[in-house]
Structure 1
Amino acid sequence: MNKIIILGRLVRNPELKKTEDGERVFTRFTVAVEQNFKAIDGTRKADFIPVIVWGKKAEIICKYLKKSDFISVSGRLRACSYDDAEGKRKYIAEVVAEDFKFITYNKKEVENEILDQVE
Structure 2
Amino acid sequence: MLNRVVLIGRLTKDPDLRYTPSGVAVTQFVLAVDRTFTSGEGEREADFIPIVMWRQLAETCANYLKKGRLTAVEGRIQVRNYESNEGKRVYVTEVIADNVRFLESANGGSGSGGSNTGSSGNSGNRSGGQGSNRNQSGGTYGGGSQSSNKGGNGGGRDTFANDGRPIDISEDDLPF
Query: Match of 2:5?
Result: 4
Q: How does 1:27-106 map to 2 (within 5 A)?
A: 27-106=27-106
State the alpha-carbon separation in 2 of the partners of residues 79 and 57 from structure 1.
Answer: 21
State the alpha-carbon separation in 2 of the partners of residues 104 and 57 from structure 1.
Answer: 18
Name the SS of the counterpart of 1:16 in structure 2. Answer: strand
Greater strand content: 1
The TM-score normalised by the length of structure 2 is: 0.59
Name the SS of the counterpart of 2:49 in structure 1. Answer: strand
Change in Cα spacing, 1:31 to 1:99, as seen in structure 2 (3 Å) is same
Question: What does the per-residue CA deviation read over 1:58-116, in whole Å, with 9 as the maximum and x for residues that have no partner?
Answer: 11111111000011000000012111111011010000001010011316xx9599xxx
Q: Which has the greater radius of gyration?
A: 2
Q: State the aligned residue count.
A: 110
CA root-mean-square deviation: 1.9
Query: Match of 2:17?
Result: 16
| Structure 1 runs, 4 residues or longer, greater than 3 Å off | 110-113
Change in Cα spacing, 1:71 to 1:49, as seen in structure 2 (3 Å) is same
Give ranges in structure 1 of 5+ residues lacking alignment.
114-119
Question: What does the per-residue CA deviation read over 1:7-49, in whole Å, with 9 as the maximum and x for residues that have no partner?
Answer: 0000000121001x14200101100000000111111000000
The TM-score normalised by the length of structure 1 is: 0.86
Query: Match of 1:116?
Result: none
The 8 Å contact of residues 73 and 99 in structure 1, kept in 2 or not, is answered as yes
Percentage of identical aligned residues: 35
